Structure 1
């Protein structure tokens, strides 16, 4: 694993991914609408690409700049944005990755997406259900693509360090929270395992919000 492209690298989970993979000595390419928001990108002297993922031309231009052996990870999301990136941005990205023959892609969504929607509380559905549904559409688009994909659905995201206590699971009901740094660690674990075509969820039973 030589090159990782982090989509959504300017803040939140994407920024945690930038920190994690840079510290692992992996070449990180940071992609975001405004990479300058994450000062670590310049501090680490990383390659940065400015891209509005809701614009298909900008996405194609960004993907065309990536090395052939890159692994793409997307943490993109836009809760209550005028034009949410969750679905259309990922649709544009998936299409561009196929066009330029990039195969390995890990998409981070959230608990409640896809077949785990039934486990969301009514309060959660009212609070952020719209974003979850957008992310579910992105998952569906990805599953029908030709990419070698993995999907990871974390619980509620917290600031904080890795704990090494995050747990991956499949096809069971789970609830809970997890630090962004711990999610980053688990993505690395998935990329180094035979996780192609699989959907996982993760929470940290030792973490509290």
Structure 2
């Protein structure tokens, strides 16, 4: 049974990914600052970790099997101590040190070379978080990990639709359910050609 380790699992997209991968029969480990925020985490292995603390990240990664697939959607919108960049920097470094190779990093539309596609209003509201996530992308892209980066559109509730698509190198706008993002992440993890690439996704 393939091991999946999900960082940022207590709420939002991370919680949706836990639900998806448990349903698909994966061996799930959930990592969160406060696992008690998600009652579903009682059904899986959990690791408590504040990703802004380097030592806690290293200790959590030490508990991960080297052949595990790691997924992270960690974020902290408008936090005074955002995890988006520094938490992922600590995670990437720790994974490299331990020899865990596979990581899918979930950021958002507007990161990296898609910054220019954000509206002025979006840059004003979300710009700081997007810039932090862009730094995380750059840190990952210059690492030795077998990575994939996924930039979803606006996240919403609802089940997986099966209708969202992955794209590259073009401007897209729209929204997508968290459950559908989880489905696409499974697809990317099972596709070796996705390694070293950046994708975006929105739904119809």
RMSD: 0.6
- Once the two structures are TM-superposed, the CA of residue 167 in structure 1 deviates from its matched residue by 1.0
2:126 is aligned to 128
Structural mapping, 1:50-199, within 5 Å: 50-193=48-191, 194-199=193-198
1:203 is aligned to 202
Residues of 2 paired with 1:18 and 1:104: CA distance?
A: 17
1:18 is aligned to 18
Residues of 1 paired with 2:52 and 2:76: CA distance?
A: 11
Note the residue ranges of structure 1 that are not aligned, 5 or more in a row: none
Residues of 2 paired with 1:41 and 1:176: CA distance?
A: 30
Residues of 1 paired with 2:81 and 2:94: CA distance?
A: 19
After superposing on structure 2, the runs of 4+ consecutive aligned residues of structure 1 that deviate more than 4 Å are none
What is the TM-score of this pair, normalised by structure 2? 0.99
- Once the two structures are TM-superposed, the CA of residue 12 in structure 1 deviates from its matched residue by 0.1
Q: What secondary structure sits across from 1:151 in the alignment?
A: strand
- Once the two structures are TM-superposed, the CA of residue 67 in structure 1 deviates from its matched residue by 1.4
Residues of 2 paired with 1:70 and 1:191: CA distance?
A: 11
Q: Please tell me whether the aligned partners of residues 29 and 45 of structure 2 are also in contact (alpha carbons under 8 angstroms).
A: yes
Residues of 2 paired with 1:100 and 1:67: CA distance?
A: 9
Residues of 1 paired with 2:202 and 2:10: CA distance?
A: 23
Deviations 1:52-105 (A, max 9, x none): 000000000000001121110001000011110000000000000001011000
